[in-house]
Amino acid sequence: MIARGEAVYQGTLRQRRLATLVGLALLLACLLAAAWVSEVRPTTLAEGLPRAGEYFEKLLPTLRWATLLADSETEGSLAAWFYRLDSWAWLLFETANMAALATLMGVAAGLLLAFPAARNLGAGTVAVQLARRGMEAMRTVPEIVFALILVWAFGVGPLAGILAIALHTAGACGKLFAESIENTGLGAWDGVWSAGGSWPQACRFAILPQVAPNLLSYALLRFEINLRSASVIGFVGGGGIGQELYTVIAQNYYEEISAIVLLILLAVASIDLLSERLRHAVIGRLA
């Protein structure tokens, strides 16, 4: 019996190893096919990496220790590197404002769509399909494509960027919100219905309090993402620091490029840290 059991175990182990090897071989074949279709060639990478290194080398500012803290008129100083800090700081504030407003608009729209999109709330097949397909359309189209269309409609400026980010946010957050609602228990929901409450009242008083911590977490995370998106939206005329970054890239002002990128990195890191603390503080109170 022991020998037979050992033989069965060894046979099963060999089958698993063979299946693993076949799976890895198929994965490698798919990766190689994808690289071939995408024109990813080792020779292309070998030729392009040095050029990329040269470009990043040009971005490095010319700083001198002796004049590091001198005024903006002195070459090699930090002040000379960030000689337009006042205008860049205002553009960064505008970008953060765009991200915040777009997040509020998108989260509000996503929340309204999430309740009919949740299959467990009985909104009806038509409502579920319309809400889900609408959110898919909004999050499938990249923000930059929305921005290109809206810039043509509303002109160059922050409004087009805000609306573009808000549309994508509504689709992305609406899906996450709907999934949170579908994972919620319906005990409170049944209680509101049995007390004579309507469908909107059941959503408001039975479901929303239960999912509020998760929704807030998703909303704050989306704000962090939207700050990055708002910086890119400026490349197509959506306003903010991205528009300034596009200008200096187009004109090959290398030191200005590195200064703006560093400011964006610092702003994103700061907001990430603040959002994380705020999220933990508020969720701790709601929990």
Q: How confident is the model at residue 169 (pLDDT cuts 50, 70, 90)?
A: very high
pLDDT at 64 over 70: yes
Which residues lie below 8 Å from residue 151, measured CB to CB, with a gap of 6+? 160, 236, 237, 238
pLDDT at 47 over 60: yes
Say which residue, 110 or 158, is predicted with more confidence.
110
Mean pLDDT value of segment 9-14? 76
Summarize pLDDT for 89-99 with one digit per residue, the tens: 898 888 889 99
Distance CA 77, CA 52 (A): 26
Give the residue from 106, 131, 114, 110 showing the smallest Cα distance to 229.
Answer: 106
The pLDDT of residue 165: 93
Mean pLDDT value of segment 280-286? 67
In this structure, whether the domain defined by 84-286 belongs to CATH 3.40.50.620 is answered with no
Q: How confident is the model at residue 210 (pLDDT cuts 50, 70, 90)?
A: confident
pLDDT at 274 over 60: yes
Mean pLDDT value of segment 72-83? 81
Q: Cβ–Cβ contacts within 10 Å for residue 220, how many?
A: 21
Mean pLDDT value of segment 153-180? 90
Phi, psi dihedrals of residue 18, rounded to the nearest 5°: -65, -45
Token pair for 140: 């499938």
Say which residue, 112 or 236, is predicted with more confidence.
112
Min mean pLDDT across 31-40, 60-69, 178-187, 276-285 is at 276-285
The pLDDT of residue 284: 67
The pLDDT of residue 147: 87
Please check whether residue 108 is in contact with residue 94, taking contact to mean a CB–CB distance below 8 angstroms.
no
Please check whether residue 133 is in contact with residue 113, taking contact to mean a CB–CB distance below 8 angstroms.
no
Mean pLDDT value of segment 128-147? 90
Q: For 4-18, b where at least 16 C-beta lie within 10 A, e where not — what string?
A: eeeeeeeeeeeeeee
Torsion of CA 131, 136, 138, 139, to 10 degrees: 140
Q: How confident is the model at residue 287 (pLDDT cuts 50, 70, 90)?
A: low
The pLDDT of residue 283: 65
Q: Where are the domains of the chain?
A: 2-49, 84-286
The pLDDT of residue 186: 81
Summarize pLDDT for 224-240 with one digit per residue, the tens: 888 888 888 877 777 77
